[in-house]
Structure 1
Amino acid sequence: MLIFESALFSVSQGWLTGWKVKDKTSGAITVPNAVLKSQIGLVWIQVRKTKKHLSLDSAQSEDLLFFSFAKAVRDPSGSDGKLWTSLQPDILADLIISEANKTVNDPFHKPSWW
């Protein structure tokens, strides 16, 4: 099932196939490592439900969540990969929501870790 799609990435999840990230520029499909698989489930539930009330635009928060996740899967040693592997899920959810809220007010805002 397709969960997220942007001009650069698509993120899908299947019952039997698990998480997959497709890089649209190269066509490469990458499967997240065990840490990222665990993190996405824990962070997504917080952004989508537990902390949804903190979002100015919950769809924007989820879009940023999946875009950052896709970048982390494609390059685990990059800035997004380091965030996803080093922060606790609740802290990462707060950071994503905070950065998404900034983009609601300023469409040209880029998250601080980019």
Structure 2
Amino acid sequence: MVIFDSTYFSVSQGWLTGWKIKDKTTGAITIPNAAMKCQIGLVWMQVRRTKKHLSLNRDQSEDMLFFSFAKAVRDPNSGDGKLWTSLEPDALADLLISEANKTARDPFHTPSWW
């Protein structure tokens, strides 16, 4: 099931297939490692349920989450990759929601780590 679809990435999750990131520019499919699978589950739960009241737009927060996750899985040495491996789920959820809120207020806002 496709959970997130943008111009550059598609993020899907299947019962038998697990998480997959498709890079639409190259057609490459990447499977996240065990640590990233765990991290996305914990952060997604926080963004979607526990901290949803902090989001100006929950859909935008989830889009920020999945876009950042896709970038982190595709390039672990990128700014996103470093964030996903260094921050605890709680701190990462707060950061992603905060950046999504800034983008909701200013459509030209770009997260500092990009």
TM normalised by structure 1 equals 0.99
Q: Letter of the aligned partner of 1:103 in structure 2? A: T
Cα distance in structure 2, aligned partners of 1:112 and 1:35 = 24
Matched, 1:106 2:106: yes
Aligned to 1:9: 9
Aligned to 1:64: 64
1:35 CA displacement? 1.2
1:7 CA displacement? 0.2
Q: Structure 2 matches for 1:1-114, cutoff 5 A?
A: 1-114=1-114
1:10 CA displacement? 0.2
Q: CA RMSD in A?
A: 0.4
1:26 CA displacement? 0.3
Cα distance in structure 2, aligned partners of 1:18 and 1:107 = 33
Q: Which runs of 4+ in 1 moved over 2 A?
A: none
Q: Letter of the aligned partner of 1:93 in structure 2? A: A
1:8 CA displacement? 0.2
Gapped regions of structure 1 (runs ≥ 5): none
The percentage of aligned residue pairs carrying the same residue is: 78
Q: Letter of the aligned partner of 1:51 in structure 2? A: K
Gapped regions of structure 2 (runs ≥ 5): none
TM normalised by structure 2 equals 0.99
Cα distance in structure 2, aligned partners of 1:52 and 1:113 = 23
